Amino acid sequence: MAIPADPAPSYSDIAAAGSLGAALRAVAAEEGLSVLFTVSEHDPVRRASVASPVPHRTPLDITAWGAERRWSIRGCESFQGLALVDGDTQDLVQVVRAAQAWHGGAEPAEIQRAAPFVHLTGRHDVPDHDPVELTESEWQQLRTEAREADWPSYVALVEAAYAEPALRAVYPYTSHWTLRFATTTRPRLAGDVAVCLAAAYREDRYTVSAQYMGEVLAETTTAEDAVATAVRHLPRGLGPVMSGAV
């Protein structure tokens, strides 16, 4: 296993330990914890991971930043490869605590309680990959993301769309903050519903388009009117969301 010849000075202690995984194990031992960290073969000083016993979760990735001494984590569900938790911190003890919780199969909220730097994306575990539950999970992620953005009109748009049963029943996703919909889940979005919704930044103005960057169907001053217009342009016969399994 090759260690980079010139690791950043801010990570000299990690390089001296031999790898980020080794440094994390040492911190865990000091805290009276035991976590099995996997060392990255390609970048041992800057990357490590820890497995989860939950079969529908990926290993928790731990990555060092380049510009400053800081580490990011990202823990995903395995079916779509989308994050359940993420976050960044300068405290390796916090990283170890988050890793131990992930390694123990804790729920996302429990992981955050163990390590407060952890950010909850809003998604939840869907063990059986049920497409209806994956759709609801993705809606919750979008609602969380909207609430965290400094963009009241976008929050109003997402909430109005979620409150409409016809839209809540289809899989939501975004492209450059434009709200779009599909009739299958990730990892392979298909059956794109040809109607898109967008909110103007810091303005009560909403656009309904026939497709992404396509013909404008209407411009409204309320999110509710935009959603109502979108519903009128939905294709007939939309069925339940299907799995996007490859």
pLDDT tens for 58-83 read: 999 999 999 899 999 999 999 999 99
Structure-block tokens of residue 143: 């609602």
pLDDT in tens, 124-147: 999 999 999 999 999 999 999 999
Structure-block tokens of residue 41: 């073969």
Residues 232 and 139 occupy one common structural domain: yes
pLDDT in tens, 201-230: 989 999 999 988 889 999 999 999 999 999
Write down which residue in 59, 86, 120 finishes a domain: 120
Task: Give the range of the structural domain holding residue 203, as residue numbers without chain letter.
Answer: 131-244
C-alpha dihedral (124, 130, 135, 138), degrees to nearest 10: 30
Domains contained in the chain, number: 2
Q: What is the pLDDT of residue 107?
A: 97
Residues 150 and 179 occupy one common structural domain: yes
147 Cβ neighbours under 8 A, 6+ residues apart: 155
Residues 104 and 182 occupy one common structural domain: no
Residues 62 and 165 occupy one common structural domain: no
H helices of the chain, where?
A: 12-17, 20-30, 92-103, 108-114, 131-148, 152-163, 165-168, 223-232
Tell me if residue 181 falls in helix, strand or coil.
Answer: strand
Q: How many CB atoms lie within 10 A of CB 34?
A: 10
pTM above 0.85, yes or no: yes
Residues 20 and 94 occupy one common structural domain: yes
Q: What is the pLDDT of residue 67?
A: 85
When pLDDT is cut at 50, 70 and 90, the band that residue 235 belongs to is: confident
Q: What is the pLDDT of residue 191?
A: 67
Residues 110 and 54 occupy one common structural domain: yes
The answer to whether position 174 is within a domain reads yes
